[in-house]
A and B are shown apart, each in its own frame.
Chain A
Amino acid sequence: NAGVTQTPKFQVLKTGQSMTLQCAQDMNHNSMYWYRQDPGMGLRLIYYSASEGTTDKGEVPNGYNVSRLNKREFSLRLESAAPSQTSVYFCASRSPGQGAGEQYFGPGTRLTVT
């Protein structure tokens, strides 16, 4: 099992460009998440999907959109990138359990917006 995979690993964008970050998991998990990590701020939740067909906002959703394509895949889209979106982006999925259950993280995408 590959666990959680993310593409690309690195990306440089110019302000105003758009891109989609891809995430897939092969653990048959219902819940999937997108986080961003900035120095000194831990991980902050952008969007999550509790199950196929549903998505909800997290702590910092502005400037992002998501799509839960199927049970395996959950993508994050930046429509018009801004320098404030320079960050490391992690996708995660969660083993079953309401309000509990460990999360499995992908390797991350390091995004720079100039």
Chain B
Amino acid sequence: GQQVMQIPQYQHVQEGEDFTTYCNSSTTLSNIQWYKQRPGGHPVFLIQLVKSGEVKKQKRLTFQFGEAKKNSSLHITATQTTDVGTYFCAGYRGAQKLVFGQGTRLTINP
């Protein structure tokens, strides 16, 4: 079945440094979603990418969807303490089943 792999599993940075997490799927995705989960909280939707090669920005966050629609990345420029949390990518398998990557846990030294 469709597998979604995410690396790295953990990342610790100094505040102000950049951060990137990568997502790879074993199959072509129709779209990819990104979620953020704060410590002790629940996943919150960030964005959805649909088109091959698509790039979207949300302030300091840049999301990319690969040309082959099998990989994606999330890049945060100049991290802030509010960026702490776990970032998940996810892709739909069929019409209903959302398959999540394992997540990248970001911690930040202020």
Contacts and interface: CB of A to CB of B under 8 A. Distances in A.
Interface of A: 31, 33, 40-45, 48, 50, 56, 58-59, 90, 98-100, 102-108
Interface size classification for chain B: 20 to 34
Nearest to A106: B42
Contacts of A105: 42-44
Contacts of B96: 31, 48, 50, 56
Interface string B36-49: 00000111110010
Given A31-B96, A50-B95, A43 B9 contact: no
From A43, A45, A98, A102, name the one whose CB has the most chain B CB atoms within 10 angstroms. Answer: A43
Interface string B72-110: 000000000000000010101011111111110000000
A57 B92 CA distance: 15
A100 B88 contact: no
B95 A98 contact: yes
B20 interface: no
Contact of B48 (A44, A45, A100): A100
